[in-house]
Amino acid sequence: DAGVIQSPRHEVTEMGQEVTLRCKPISGHDYLFWYRQTMMRGLELLIYFNNNVPIDDSGMPEDRFSAKMPNASFSTLKIQPSEPRDSAVYFCASRGNRGWEAFFGQGTRLTVV
Amino acid sequence: GIQVEQSPPDLILQEGANSTLRCNFSDSVNNLQWFHQNPWGQLINLFYIPSGTKQNGRLSATTVATERYSLLYISSSQTTDSGVYFCAVAPYGDKLIFGTGTRLQVFP
């Protein structure tokens, strides 16, 4: 298995633009998680899905952030409009329904200028 | 919510030295994982260890769930061990909550 795949690896965008981050979980995994890593706040959970259904989005910072999982093999995290304080590394992770171990993608480094 | 504390926050070692990293958590958990974030930012799975002891080469980990702590041992450290080590716990089995990490620097 190729592991969790995220794209793009790096994204630089101007303030006010829409940004879409993408994630392909490990095949067969039922849970998908979106995390954000910053120096100030460390690794924080934004939202997670089980069987494509959002379960807990309490970590989503504000309405500018939205996430979808249209099918078992794809999820997006969208920021519209983006702001400089959204600059961070965004990680996607997945795990199976029977095993508790989570696996992370390589992350997307987002810079909003 | 659950609190996850890691110590020490920073650790500087010379190659060949041994070290112990600690993770304390404030509530019962169903899942505990140790990760290594390398200098390129990748989060690498080290151990899934909600209880007991596991070993993988020079690394080993022990979790005492009843006392709410876990330890990560690194023996004969190498420069490639440098990076940040995270403990993450899942109090209800679903979402992983991360500690603040231990930054390790190993010098030749």
Give pLDDT tens digits for B54-100. Answer: 999 999 999 999 999 999 999 999 999 999 999 999 887 678 999 99
How far lies B95's CA from each of A60, A72, B48, B66, in Å?
Answer: 14, 18, 14, 20
Check if A48 contacts B (Cβ < 8 Å): yes
Contact A42 B35 (CB under 8 A): no
Q: What is the pLDDT of residue A64?
A: 96
Q: Residue A16: CB partners within 8 Å, gap ≥ 6?
A: A81, A82
Q: What is the pLDDT along chain A (113 residues), one digit of tens a residue?
A: 689 999 999 999 999 999 999 999 999 999 999 999 999 999 999 999 999 999 999 999 889 999 999 999 999 999 999 999 999 999 999 998 776 799 999 999 999 99
Helix, strand, coil percentages for chain A (3-state, nearest 5): 5, 55, 40
Q: Which residues of B touch A89 (CB under 8 A)?
A: 41
Are the beta carbons of A107 and B43 separated by less than 8 Å? yes
| CA distance linking residue B54 with residue B48, whole number of Å | 9
Q: Which of A35, A42, A100 sits opposite B100 (nearest CB)?
A: A42
Q: Determine, for residues B95 and A56 on separate chains, whether the beta-carbon distance falls below 8 Å.
A: yes
Is residue B92 within 8 A of residue B30, CB to CB? The reply is yes
Task: Please tell me the predicted confidence (pLDDT) of residue B92.
Answer: 74
Q: Which helix (H) or strand (E) holds B50?
A: none
| Interval B98-107 mean pLDDT | 96
B6 touches chain A (CB under 8 A): no
Position A98 scores a pLDDT of: 73
**Three-state SS across A50-76?**
ECCEEEECCCCCCCCEEEEEEECCEEE
